[in-house]
């Protein structure tokens, strides 16, 4: 299978706070991050449908990285998680 990624992924240990009017807020762990988006682990949570735009805050042990939520779109589900893409890059 050919690699089709535009951006190099880096492993990370950030927490992400996702919010959407349909489910409120939840906090998940990011597995990796790139200039194009991130993959988050769902655990027991249900993934929103592909195409859903979520508001996302990224948190590190040192604090919140972005004070204002960033819009990210759900682009795929697999491997116990979901891929999110930054909107309006």
Domain count, the chain: 1
Please report, for residues 40, 54, 56, 57, the alpha-carbon distance to residue 80 in angstroms, rounded to integers and kept in the order given.
Answer: 9, 18, 19, 21
Q: pLDDT by residue (tens digit) across 14-57?
A: 899 999 998 889 999 998 888 889 999 998 888 899 999 999 99
Does the residue 1 lie in any domain? no
Asked whether residue 53 is assigned to any structural domain, the reply reads yes
In the predicted model, is pLDDT for residue 88 greater than 50?
A: yes
Mean pLDDT value of segment 77-83: 91
pLDDT tier for residue 1 given thresholds of 50, 70 and 90: very low
Q: Which of 4, 45, 34 lies closest to 72, judged by CA? A: 34
Residue 33 lies in a domain: yes
List the beta bridge partners of residue 60.
Answer: 63
pLDDT tops 80 at residue 3 = no
CATH number at residue 76: 2.40.10.220
Give the pTM: 0.83
- Model confidence at 60, pLDDT cuts 50, 70, 90, reads confident
């Amino acid at each position: 299978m050919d690699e089709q990624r535009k951006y190099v992924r880096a492993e990370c240990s950030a927490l992400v706070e996702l919010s959407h009017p349909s489910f409120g807020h939840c906090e998940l762990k990011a597995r990796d991050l790139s200039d194009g988006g991130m993959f988050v682990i769902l655990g027991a949570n249900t993934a929103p449908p592909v195409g859903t735009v979520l508001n996302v805050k990224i948190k590190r042990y040192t604090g919140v990285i972005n004070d204002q939520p960033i819009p990210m779109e759900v682009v795929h589900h697999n491997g116990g998680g979901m891929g999110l893409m930054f909107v309006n890059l």
